Every structure is written in C-alpha cells, then in structure tokens.
Amino acid sequence: MRIVVGAAGAGRVGLVDPSVSADPFETVRVDELPAIVRTLEARRPRWVWSDTRRWYPRLLADGVRVERAHDLLLAAAILDQSTATASLRGEGSHARPQWLPSGPVEAVQGTGVPAASSASHASLFEFDDFGGAGEAGGAADASAPGLHESSDLIGVPVAAVLAEHARQLALVASSNQPGALRLLLAAESAGALIGVELHAAGLPWHRGVHERVLEGELGPKPAPGRKPARMEELAAEVRSLLAAPAVNLDSQVDLLKALRRAGIDVESTSKWQLREHEHPAIEPLVAYKKLSRLYSANAWSWLDEWVVDGRFRPDYVPGGTATGRWATSGGGALQLPKNVRSAVVADPGWALVVADAAQLEPRVLAGLAHDESMAEAGRGRDFYSGIVGAGVVETRDQAKVAILGAMYGATTGESGRLVPRLARAYPKAMALVDRAAADGERGASVTTLLGRSSPPPGEEWRSVQSRASQPEATPADERRARSRARDWGRFTRNFVVQGTAAEWALCWMAVLRPKLVAIAAAAPDPDQRAHRSGAAFDRVPHLVYYLHDEIIVHTPRERADDVAVAVAAAAAEAGRLLFGEFPVEFPLDLAIVDSYALADA
C-alpha cells in the first residue's frame, strides 16, 4: 500500500491511497499529521512525498518513524538522468513537472530539528501553501533553475504529488530495467529516511575527550585572536630555519617565495612536494600544516558550533553527489580526522557497533563484471592478499595500487605499470572499466548496476571536443581535447564502480534498519514511557553514522551482539540484492566498542 501526501489547502495535508481513489481519504491539519501517520504506519505503507528532508524531520520530532518511503525529488533526479529511461522521458505525460527543481540535490536549509524533546512541535508544521505568499513561491516559479534554499516542497498540492508519482511509476515500468530501478528508488528513499534520522539521533560526542586530544596536540585553547601555543612554536622554528622572519605560513604565495629563497625548489607548498626535499625547515613546516588543519577544521570552534548536548548532528545530503554517494552540508561529517574519532563515545550502558565493508569497491567491480577469478581472489578475508596468492603481483601493496589504478585510471607510476598485469589476470573486470572510460571519452553516459547514470559532460567540454574535430584545429586544440576527453573518461570509469558501491551501501543500510527496529521489539524495554514521550531512539538500536562504506550503530549494550549479527546479515543480503547468486563476498571489519577510536585496532 502506498499513501501519497501533499498539501490540501491552507495549513492542511491530504492523504491519498492511489489504489482506491485520486481523492484524499483523509485531510488533516498539519499539526495532526504525526498522529495519523503513527496510526497508519501499522499498515506498513510506503509514504510518497515530495521530499523526505522536508517532511520527515517534523514527524521524527514527535517521535514518529516510518518504515518505507518514496522520495519524489531523489527519484526524479535518478529517473530523469538514467539511460534506462532515456527513450521515454521528456514530452507529454513524461515531462518533469515545474514544481520539481532540476539539477543536483542540494542542502535544505532549516531542517534542523532540536534534540528530541517532549516539547510541542506544532510550529514546525507551519508551511506556505503551494504558490502562496512568502519565499516559498519558488515552488510555483517556472523559471526556478535549481532547488532554491527557500523552496519548500511540502507545499506542493497532493494532486500534483500524485501525478508525479504516477509519472515516475510509468517511467520505471517501461524502462529497460524496472526491477533494478525499483530497488534503487527504494534504497535511495530509505537512505533519505536514514539521513534525517542520523541528524535527529546525532553521533554521541564526548567533548572532554575531544578537548584532551586538542590540548595534547595543540596545547591549551588559545585566547581569542591567538593561535595555539604549539603552532606558534613551530611557526617560529620554521621562520628561523628559512631565515624568513616575517613569512606568513598561512599564505601560500608568501610561503612559496620564502621556500624558494631558502633554496627549496618546489612548485607548490603541498606536503608531498615538500617531502621530496631535504631541508631542516620541512619537518616543522609539515607539522605546522597538520596542526593548522586540525585547529581550523576540527578544534574548539568546531566543537562549539557542532556539538550540542553531547551529539554531533551534521546535515546529510543523500544523493548529494553525481555517483550517488552522500554529501554533507556543514560540520564536515565525512572528513572527520582519525585523531578526533576517539571523542565518539557510547552513552553509559550503550555500545557502538562499528562496521566497514572491506575493500568494497574491488568486490563490487568483480560482481559488476561477473569476473569469477577476481571474485575468487576476494573470497575469505583480505582481497589484496588474494591477488598476491593468485600470483598476479608480488606484494599486498602492489595489489592495492594496481587495483586502485585500474578503478581510477592511473597511467603513470608504479600503479600504471602494474595495471597491465591485473588486466591479464582479470580481463572481464578490466574490460568493464575500460569500456566505461571509453564511453566517457566520447561523451556518452555510463550507468551503475541499478540504473543511476552519469551526468553528460558540460557545454564547455563539448565545444573543446568539437573545436578539435574542425579542419582548422591546431595540434594544441587536439591535445587539449584528448586531455579533457581522458579526464572525463577517468570520471566515468570510476563512476560505475563508485556508484554501484554506493548502491550496495544503501541496500546494506536499508536492509539493516528494520532489523534494528525488530531487535528492539523482540526484547521490549520494560519502561515504555520513553517511546510515548516522543523520543524516537530511546532504548532502540539505531544508526548514528555513515561514511560511504562504513556505519556505526549506537545500541543498548545488551543488544550489541544481536546488532552485530544483523549488520553482517544485512551486508550479505545487500550482496544478494545486487549480484544475486554470483559468488562475490562482502566481508566486514566489525567491532563492538565504547569508542570509535578502538574500532581500528
């Protein structure tokens, strides 16, 4: 059963069961929505709405979780780009509606939900009607090129939502691969629910532990306007050793001049170039840069801005990148330096189940290409050792750079030299990525296993290519065109692997999520008040972090073993959803820990 949700006049929401009628079976005030959703959820519907990131925080704030959704915004971004639907879209009934922003998925402003509390959230439901007054008029603005910060898709009339849902179902049904697309849209929509839940739940963050890390590396918190003591010391040392008493180490231009005057022949100030030179100033300079990064990105001001009541709540953007990986907006959640991860600490009585998929991308490639030899190398624990065991290369490090080189399109260095050996051992896998690169080089789209397609190259790219094919093209034109073509080919080569890996990860989480709910239900908490008070995650194991191929579940300690079993089972199920009975394995590195920092050990 599906229930389509949309605006139905001033301050009201209409609920439609499309299998029965196009007219709402229920119309409620917006503040009544959580209650009715909670009731109807017992029938396990798939909720169809314009934009999960607009609708779901308001429900979750009242403690209402939903199991299934269909996110029209994310689904449209996939369907309107996919080669699987290419022959159908565009005209007539397949035209994308004007209320649906085109272009990449962007951050939604103002979805931040305060820490779960029992306060009334009625005010969170006040939305502008479709085309109504105020900034939300963007929804009715046919010229709107992208997703305006102010556009508010909860104001779209339920009839328009229903029509778009029908359009999408028709596109899927008449596509080249309806089964795969259905799975992708379900997984993408589950990801949207999870993204909102990750924000609402927050990552448990221990300010004291974090501050001890900072003091250990940087020294005490500096006074306003000052830099940390350890950075000042290193800066003074560098200035002295470069004989450049006034150089500003934070200025790339300034620093580069000083380095060259000191006889260090570098073209940039990047760490890897510096490391190729011998000079006493280099070690303290690299140390300064590392501390500078920590100080500006993840130190005291980051703590003040991002950690509230012991939780880090980044804004996740499911579908935020071309390949289907997520992005985040603010907080840098996907770039947390390893040395501050010790601050991720389970609540008392709780544990963290940390799991990452070992060598996910090469395994996905083996499955995509149906390369039995490559899958065989991954059977068991360590994929790279399997390649060594098969006699393809001599060392694990070689296996790793060769595989990365094959997936990223390396042409030079050790990686480039090793790739041909990989190609001889695993011709099917190599042919798949080579084909993806060749498609990209001629400007064609490539498509993941489940049907997400790469964006076309831009106008500028096409004009560079067409200029090079003119009779009067110069050798420089041709070189430039070849170079740009190969750049795009490296993108499409990686796209199919990275994008399909993102699909695996979405399926992993989508399968896991109801298992976590079931674990809580199987051993109900004696104290039920927490649920009724509106806190969605009290006593329930729940996802608190997601990083491309890695997840963290925060769970009552006595449920941690069950959670670990569920996480592993979900990984195996995800493999079957994508690759059926093809024998590619997806082993996890999994740990039950109090602190994220302990999961690496």
What residues line the site for DNA (CB under 7 A)? 248, 250-254, 256, 268-272, 275, 286, 289-290, 293, 296-297, 302, 317, 320-323, 325, 327-332, 334-339, 356, 400-401, 404-405, 408-415, 487, 490-491, 493-495, 498, 547-550
Matching residue, tokens 């992708």: 184
CB of 149 to DNA, least distance (A): 12
Q: Which is nearer to DNA, 107 or 530 (CB)?
A: 107
CB of 175 to DNA, least distance (A): 24
DSSP class per residue in 75-104: HHHHHTT-GGGTTT-SSGGGSPPTTS--SS
- Give SS3 for 431: helix
Q: Which is nearer to DNA, 175 or 328 (CB)?
A: 328
CB of 87 to DNA, least distance (A): 26
Q: Which is nearer to DNA, 410 or 578 (CB)?
A: 410
Q: Which is nearer to DNA, 225 or 526 (CB)?
A: 225
Q: How far is CA 50 from CA 44, 161, 517, in A?
A: 19, 7, 25
Q: Which is nearer to DNA, 239 or 325 (CB)?
A: 325
The b-or-e profile of 337-375 (16+ CB within 10 A means b, else e) is eeebbbbbbbeeebbbbbbbbbbbbbbbbbbbbebeebb
Helix extents (H) in 369-474: 372-377, 383-389, 396-408, 413-425, 427-441, 459-468
Q: Which is nearer to DNA, 49 or 545 (CB)?
A: 545
CB of 193 to DNA, least distance (A): 20
Residue 591 exposure: Cα atoms within 13 Å on the Cβ side: 12
CB of 420 to DNA, least distance (A): 14
Beta strands 350-357 and 12-16: pairing type?
unpaired
Alpha carbon distance 210, 232 (integer Å): 21
CB of 131 to DNA, least distance (A): 27
Q: Which is nearer to DNA, 121 or 490 (CB)?
A: 490
Q: Which is nearer to DNA, 3 or 299 (CB)?
A: 299
CB of 256 to DNA, least distance (A): 6
Alpha carbon distance 152, 64 (integer Å): 21
Contact present, 591 and 336 (Cβ < 8 Å): no
Alpha carbon distance 17, 48 (integer Å): 10
CB of 325 to DNA, least distance (A): 6
Alpha carbon distance 228, 245 (integer Å): 19
- DSSP bridge pairs for 157: 7
